């Protein structure tokens, strides 16, 4: 500006005009038009989609930390270390199982014709082939023996980025089971169940739906997994809770439930906030694309709806906790957040945001009522996972019919079919494990706590260990 002032007046005007012309030329060359901004070239789209899968997947993986905090703070201090061990163990098992067989069973060749006794079962599961890996073109690209091929670009994303994003969803379903059965399930029995759940049960549910199987062909809608992920985990947890039974002393002789408040409210609250954060990757990443303006706008709607539903779930749970549970219950409010998140997961792509508030609020209300119902029917769910994930998951799947154009009959068929399959297979597996290896720890271990009795590692070593006394 100082140099401009040193020039004569007429020359300053020429310079200003020249700069304006050059700027106009530059804008016409480099700035995209509105139409062009609606999408990018195929290779750029490949890069953006792959990057989105990896980043959103990492955020969903962080939900495992949230589940660990939620569960370890919900149990008594004498079992907190075991919760940490189980959660890092189940995540590792889920990753290996989904790599060796789960992904192939869920996605590969689901649409093929496969006749058994004259019945086509090709839409029931994918391939029994072991292991999964990148395509030959991708291997060649990384080893610098080849370039980006048209076939690679047409897929829209890297093969293994898709595997990674799908794998962390499997681990989420497995985490639900851990919280329900805390404080009394045997570690290795639990790990065996998680292996079968993540290698076979969950992938078959996924094959029916996201894998293009028979439910998908009927028109079943579940954007990010209210039923496919959360209800699957909830049904598996419910079956285990029925087979293994409640914790010692949880229900008194008169049938009333003994209060078992969280041992670390701060950690439980932190866990819920971590889950809330991770859910943005869970739902946002399920847009499955980041290559156009429409994808980005849709993703922003998904994240806003996710947040609104969770907030509404919290407030509904707080409002109902006193009349239903007899007190203003923080634990109910925290579960209300999770229930709101689960409920909106089936249809977070709705464009009318007020529906997200309605869906989330009803999810939180149903979860609060579900917590009380579980006590009435004497099913011991330590963290309230069944009301938050199963009950709210069913509601969210049906709510798609209200706000996202789902077909009620098809949605109910999906809920019933998946529920029947997962509960029956889980109940049979838990029953088999209980009859052979034993699913429940001994009375001595349960009274002393799994940390000391099984791990020899107390989560809070400065505390004085006080074994609990139980009514006969």
Task: Supply the pLDDT for residue 121.
Answer: 53
Residue ranges covered by each domain of the chain: 2-31, 48-455
Is residue 398's pLDDT more than 60? yes
Say if residue 81 is exposed, middle or buried (CB neighbours under 10 Å; 0-12, 13-18, 19+): buried
First-to-final CA distance of the chain: 90
How far apart, in whole angstroms, are the C-alpha atoms of residue 335 and residue 46? 38
Three-state helix/strand/coil letters over 277-346: HHHHHHHHHHHCCCCCHHHHHHHHHHHHHHHHHHHHHHHHHHHHHHHHHCCCCHHHHHHHHHHHHHHHCC
In this structure, are residues 215 and 417 in contact, taking their beta carbons and an 8 Å threshold? yes
Q: Which of 432, 428, 431, 331 is nearest to 388 (CA)?
A: 331
In this structure, are residues 257 and 250 in contact, taking their beta carbons and an 8 Å threshold? yes
**Chosen CATH of 48-455 out of 3.10.105.10, 1.10.3430.10, 3.40.50.1220, 1.10.10.10:** 1.10.3430.10
Is residue 118's pLDDT more than 80? no
Residue 186 CB-half CA count within 13 A = 19
Alpha helix segments (H runs only) across 98-186: 103-107, 136-142, 150-155, 159-180
For the whole model, what pTM was predicted?
0.86
Task: Supply the pLDDT for residue 147.
Answer: 67
Percent of the chain whose predicted confidence (pLDDT) is above 70: 86
5 token code pair: 């002032």
In this structure, are residues 72 and 451 in contact, taking their beta carbons and an 8 Å threshold? no
In this structure, are residues 94 and 198 in contact, taking their beta carbons and an 8 Å threshold? yes
Name the 3-class secondary structure at 461.
coil
Task: Supply the pLDDT for residue 262.
Answer: 86
Specify the range with the lowest mean pLDDT, choosing from 105-114, 215-224, 346-355, 433-442: 105-114
Tell me which H or E stretch contains 120: strand 119-120
Is residue 313's pLDDT more than 80? yes
One-character DSSP codes across 47-87: HHHHHHHHHHHHHHHTHHHHHHHHHHHHS-GGGHHHHHHHH
Residue 146 CB-half CA count within 13 A = 12
Is residue 256's pLDDT more than 90? no
């Amino acid at each position: 500006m100082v140099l401009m002032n040193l020039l004569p007046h007429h020359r300053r005007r020429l310079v200003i005009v020249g700069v304006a012309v050059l700027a106009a030329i530059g804008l016409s060359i480099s700035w995209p038009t509105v139409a062009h901004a609606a999408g990018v070239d195929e290779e750029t789209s490949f890069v953006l989609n792959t990057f989105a899968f990896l980043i959103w997947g990492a955020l969903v993986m962080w939900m495992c930390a949230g589940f660990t905090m939620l569960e370890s703070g919900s149990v008594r201090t004498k079992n907190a270390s075991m919760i940490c061990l189980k959660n890092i163990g189940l995540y590792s098992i889920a990753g290996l199982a989904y790599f060796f067989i789960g992904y192939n069973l869920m996605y590969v060749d689901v649409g093929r014709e496969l006749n058994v006794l004259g019945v086509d079962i090709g839409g029931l599961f994918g391939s029994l082939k072991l292991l999964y890996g990148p395509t030959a073109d991708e291997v060649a690209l990384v080893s610098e023996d080849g370039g980006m091929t048209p076939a690679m670009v047409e897929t829209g994303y890297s093969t293994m980025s898709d595997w990674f994003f799908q794998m962390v969803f499997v681990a989420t379903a497995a985490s639900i089971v851990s919280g329900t059965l805390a404080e009394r399930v045997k570690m290795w029995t639990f790990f065996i169940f998680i292996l079968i759940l993540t290698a076979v049960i969950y992938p078959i549910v996924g094959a029916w739906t996201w894998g293009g199987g028979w439910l998908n062909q009927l028109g079943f809608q579940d954007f990010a997994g209210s039923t496919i992920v959360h209800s699957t985990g909830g049904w598996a947890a419910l079956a285990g809770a029925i087979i293994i039974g409640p914790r010692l002393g949880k229900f008194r002789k008169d049938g009333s439930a003994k209060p078992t408040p969280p041992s670390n409210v701060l950690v439980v609250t932190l866990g819920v906030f971590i889950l809330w954060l991770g859910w943005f990757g869970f739902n946002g990443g399920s847009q499955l694309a980041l290559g156009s303006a429409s994808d980005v706008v849709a993703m922003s709607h998904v994240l806003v709806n996710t947040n609104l539903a969770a907030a509404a779930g919290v407030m509904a749970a707080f409002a109902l906790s006193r009349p239903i549970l007899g007190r203003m219950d923080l634990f109910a409010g925290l579960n209300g957040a999770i229930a709101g998140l689960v409920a909106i997961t089936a249809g977070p792509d709705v464009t009318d945001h007020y529906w997200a508030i309605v869906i989330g609020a009803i999810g939180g209300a149903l979860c609060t009522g579900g917590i009380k119902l579980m006590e009435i029917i004497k099913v011991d769910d330590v963290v309230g996972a069944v009301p938050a994930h199963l009950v709210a998951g069913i509601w969210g799947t049906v709510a798609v019919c209200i706000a996202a154009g789902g077909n009620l009959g098809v949605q109910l068929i999906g809920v019933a079919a998946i529920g029947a399959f997962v509960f029956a297979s889980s109940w049979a597996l838990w029953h088999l494990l209980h009859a052979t290896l034993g699913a429940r720890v001994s009375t001595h271990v349960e009274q002393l706590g799994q940390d000391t009795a099984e791990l020899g590692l107390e989560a809070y070593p400065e505390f004085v260990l006080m074994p609990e006394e139980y009514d006969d």
